[in-house]
Amino acid sequence: MAKKMDLEVVQIRRFDNGDSKLKAFVDVAIGEFIVKGFRIVEGEEGLFIGMPQDRGKDGRWYDRFSPRNPEAKQALTEVVLAAYQE
């Protein structure tokens, strides 16, 4: 069952660190909830969205948020990158 997602970029914190691959932190409203800590990162194939993460007791990083399916990830990516490029 496909549902239309209500996505809105609430805040973008850009970085001008020159050579840094991290370009911005982004907070996104998904329906009535705000998810903080998405990252816009410059990869080998262009910009991509990194999910909010926490470091575990084992020192590894774990996603706190993940899309349910590829369509949801694509919708999130389109909304966030469009807002970043404005």
- End-to-end alpha carbon distance in the chain: 32
Is the residue at 27 inside a domain? yes
* pLDDT exceeds 70 at position 63: yes
Is the residue at 2 inside a domain? no
User: Comparing 60 with 5, which gets the higher pLDDT?
Assistant: 60
Residue numbers of the domain that contains 28: 7-54+63-84
User: Comparing 3 with 51, which gets the higher pLDDT?
Assistant: 51
* pLDDT exceeds 70 at position 2: no
pLDDT value of position 30: 93
What is the reported pTM?
0.85
Is the residue at 77 inside a domain? yes
Q: Residue 29: CB partners within 8 Å, gap ≥ 6?
A: 6, 7, 8, 9, 10, 35
| Total count of domains within the chain | 1
CATH code (residue 26): 3.30.1120.40
